[in-house]
Amino acid sequence: MSTPQVKIFVADAVSDTGLQPLRDAGFVVEKRTGLNAAELRAALSGCAGLVVRSETKVTADLLDSATTLRVVGRAGVGVDNIDVPAATERGIVVMNAPDGNTITTAEHTIALLIALARRIPQANSSLKSGHWDRKSFIGVELQGKTLGVVGMGRIGRVVAARARAFGMRILAFDPFLAPEQARDLEIELAPLEDVFANADFLTVHTPLTPETRGIIGRDAFAKMKQGVRVINCARGGLVDESALCDAIKSGAVAGAALDVFANEPPASDHPLLLLDEVIVTPHLGASTTEAQEGVAFTVAEQMRDYLLSGALRGAVNVPALGVKELGVLRPYIELAEKLGRFQAQLVDSAVREVKLEFAGEIVELNAAPVTRSFLAGLLRDVSARVNAVNAFLIAEERGIKVTTTYFRAGADLAPAIRTHVLAGGGEQSVAGTIFGFGEQSREGRITEIDGFHIEAIPQGHMLVMRNRDVPGVIGRVGTILGERGVNISRFHLGRQERGGEAMAVIEVDASLERETLAALRARPEILTVREIELV
By annotation, the residues acting in catalysis are 235, 264, 283
Strand order from edge to edge, sheet including 460-468: 488-495, 501-508, 460-468, 526-534
Query: What is the distance in angstroms between the CA of the first residue and the CA of the last residue of the chain?
Result: 24
DSSP 273: G
Residue of 289, 312, 299 whose CA lies nearest to 29: 299
How many whole angstroms separate alpha carbon 478 and alpha carbon 383? 36
How many whole angstroms separate alpha carbon 229 and alpha carbon 202? 6
How many whole angstroms separate alpha carbon 82 and alpha carbon 479? 59
Does the N-terminal peptide bond of residue 265 adopt cis geometry, omega within 30 degrees of 0?
yes
- Count other Cβ atoms within 10 Å, centred on residue 54: 20
- In terms of DSSP bridges, do strands 426-435 and 443-449 run parallel, antiparallel, or are they unpaired? antiparallel
DSSP codes of every residue in 7-25: EEEE-S---TGGGHHHHHT
- Contact predicate 412/360, CB 8 Å: yes
| Strand segments (E) across 376-450 | 401-407, 417-423, 426-435, 443-449
Element (H, E) at 269: none
Q: Which H, E and C letters describe 377-388, residue by residue? A: HHCCCCCCCCCC
3-class SS of residue 257? strand
Q: From its phi and psi, is residue 15 left (phi > 0), alpha (psi between -120 and 50) or beta?
A: beta
Class of residue 232 by CB neighbours under 10 A (exposed 0-12, middle 13-18, buried 19+): buried
- In terms of DSSP bridges, do strands 7-10 and 47-52 run parallel, antiparallel, or are they unpaired? parallel
Class of residue 419 by CB neighbours under 10 A (exposed 0-12, middle 13-18, buried 19+): buried
- Count other Cβ atoms within 10 Å, centred on residue 147: 26
- Count other Cβ atoms within 10 Å, centred on residue 334: 18
- Contact predicate 93/72, CB 8 Å: yes
Single-letter amino acid, residue 246: D
Residues belonging to the chain: 535
- Contact predicate 522/447, CB 8 Å: no
